[in-house]
Chains A and B, each alone.
Chain A
Amino acid sequence: MSEYVVDLSGIRKTYRGGVEALKGIDLQVPEGCIYGLLGPNGAGKSTMVKILTTLIKKSGGTGTMLGRPLGDRTALQQVGLLPEHAQFPDYLTGRQVIEFTAGLQNVPTAETKQRTDELLDLVQMTEAQQRKIKSYSKGMKQRIGIAQALVNDPKIVFLDEPTDGVDPAGRRDFRVLMKKLREEGRTIFINTHILSELEPIVDRVAIISEGQLRGEGVLDDLRASTPEYSIEFEGTLSIEAANAMKAEAIKVESGLITVSTSYATEVQPVIDQLRQENLVIVKIERRTQSLEDLFIDLIDSTKAATPPPIPS
């Protein structure tokens, strides 16, 4: 049995008409982590989630989910899903939506009531539970969507664009909730294009573009460039000091010095030099490559590597 909750090898999907949405994806998702699947529009992210949740049949490749072959209904009983553009029946109340999913997943009736109460509390929808879905805001619907995805006490939760249309306060609550779910030992698979939402909470990411995996792993390992310290100051640095710094590959500009290093101790001589020349240090900042930078770098490198079309 695979040690991963999701273990995919060479997953391909070709739609009718020959459009290749996935061109052989290998992916391993460890248990109990927050896993981010990133990619531009049309990259194949949703296709991937749909294959995992049986909404789409793969054209090729093999894979397991929770130790069972893809498509196994027993495995699906331990899976929660909030699909992209989730549409809940508007004649149901928020509570009924959660109970509906519980019924579909064969959750015992007594357990359903208790879990529904807990989940409504968790997503802060207890007060609005008896209102019809059609009266909910987008953010409220997403909260109910997350709650229904958890009603069967799933081992793995797929969230496809979960913060789409959610206000900033709702997004903060979402991040807190994701961390809580991870602490409970669940694996959370988030499919999103809002990178800033993912960066503070994600353990591992996979970046796909044009149906192919461009990078996968722990975020810090994926970051290609070394962190850098930037020091902003007022005044003019002496030419001798500037030349000495440049000789040590330190970037010196007007009012700004940038030191590429992971270690703060290597920045101390620069600060000492500025103090010695009585220059006023305005700001010192440690900068790492953001997830957005990483994402754009990977996508750009893909585009650069793709040969231009041959003119007919």
Chain B
Amino acid sequence: MKPYLTILLDSFRMLRSKAIFWVSLIITLLVAVLYLSLGFDEKGVTLFFGLTSFETELIRKGTPSAERLYLGIFTNYIAEIWLAWIAVLLGLISCGSLFPNAMKEGSAGMLLTKKPSRFGVFLAKFVGSLFFVAIQVILFVLVVLIALRWRVGEWNFSIFWYVPLVLLVFTYLYSFMVLIAVKTRSVMTALILTLVLWGISSIVGSIEGSLYQFTQTDTSVVEISPSKENNEFEDLEDSQATDRWYTRVKAIYGFLPKTGRTMEIADRLLVVNGKRGYNRGSMLDIMMGNVSQEESAMAEATTLAANRHSVSYAIGTSSLFALVMLSLAAWLFCRRDY
């Protein structure tokens, strides 16, 4: 066990030595503190720890809508943009050189000629890379936990679901990056190709989501509009064509890592007002003045669209992708000459 702990400790030391680790850690904490600075009082919403505020009757301290809004800002903006994109990107940039550096002639001689097997070294290096994202996300979520306690008045431990989910998203992409890095030994090639994969996956995911909504709407139009008798046949044909496209895109998407869908799983696991499941549409409801506990039709539609993939499908197929990539990378790492 000691040799593997030594590799993990070395990974941590390496990360600690990198300026980007500290820069992204500081920015992460700044974003978290900025979130913390948002609050509520008896008159409405306060910003920058009460430096400025605006009055509203809808969202005040202690109201259920305050918690929904506060969580909404976190899930819709901070988690969606910062955790799901920027933190993962910084992680990829920081950890990109880990494998190519370990495979350099003089370094490989230091690492691969010792007691641990090559596969053991590979796994330890991979797990060590996860430290980077894990440390950032855990710290971030801790500040958010404190913010929720302070601003909303309850300890919402369900936000810790973001830690494994962000790590999963990072793992999907990083496994591909490691494969390219092991194959080419080039940090830049690995990073660029990973970003391309990420982009393709996101675009295909968006198309799949749009086609899903379109096919659902189209079907309902055909079904509830008997007056459009002249166009009924054409509508049905269009609908079938769209269905076919949706099936194709969904099949392609099945092979790709589902970064967006994985992050959306957090919504289903969050506990809001004592109930499991958070609807991103409910934040729009609040902004539009609907502060009741009942969800609007729009919020329900958002929930329906977000839940079109089961948790096991989103995580299972993506994890399978990561497993295949990692297996190939490990195979290459173990059999090649150094």
Contacts and interface: CB of A to CB of B under 8 A. Distances in A.
Interface of A: 15, 50, 53-57, 73, 76-77, 79, 81, 83-92, 96, 100-101, 103-106, 148, 160
Contacts of A96: 13
B2 interface: yes
13 contacts: A15-B337, A55-B112, A55-B113, A56-B338, A81-B109, A84-B106, A86-B110, A87-B106, A89-B10, A103-B2, A104-B3, A104-B7, A105-B3
A76 B115 contact: yes
Nearest to A83: B109
Contacts of B110: 81, 83, 86-88, 101, 148
Interface centre among A15, A86, A103, A148 (most CB of B within 10 A): A103
Nearest to B6: A103
Contacts of A79: 113
Looking at A56, A81, A91, which has the most chain B CB atoms within 10 Å of its CB?
A: A91
Contacts of A84: 105-106, 109
Contacts of B115: 73, 76-77, 104-106
Interface in B55-108: 104-108
Interface residues of B, number: 28
A159 to B, nearest CB: 12
A100 B338 contact: no
B338 A55 contact: yes
A73 B6 CA distance: 17
- Enumerate the 10 nearest inter-chain pairs by beta-carbon distance, A residue then B residue, closest first: A83-B109, A103-B6, A91-B17, A87-B106, A104-B114, A53-B113, A85-B106, A56-B337, A55-B338, A86-B106
A101 B110 CA distance: 8
Most B-side CB within 10 Å, residue of A56, A84, A86, A87 = A87
Nearest to B337: A56
A165 to B, nearest CB: 13
A291 to B, nearest CB: 26
A279 B110 CA distance: 62
Interface string B1-19: 0110111011001101100
Nearest to A104: B114
A194 to B, nearest CB: 19
A92 B6 contact: no
Contact of A76 (B17, B108, B114): B114
A92 B12 CA distance: 12
A96 B337 CA distance: 27
Nearest to A57: B337
Given A104-B115, A104-B116, A50 B106 contact: no
Contact of B5 (A54, A88, A103, A148): A103
A53 B111 contact: no
A89 B2 contact: no
A55 B108 contact: yes
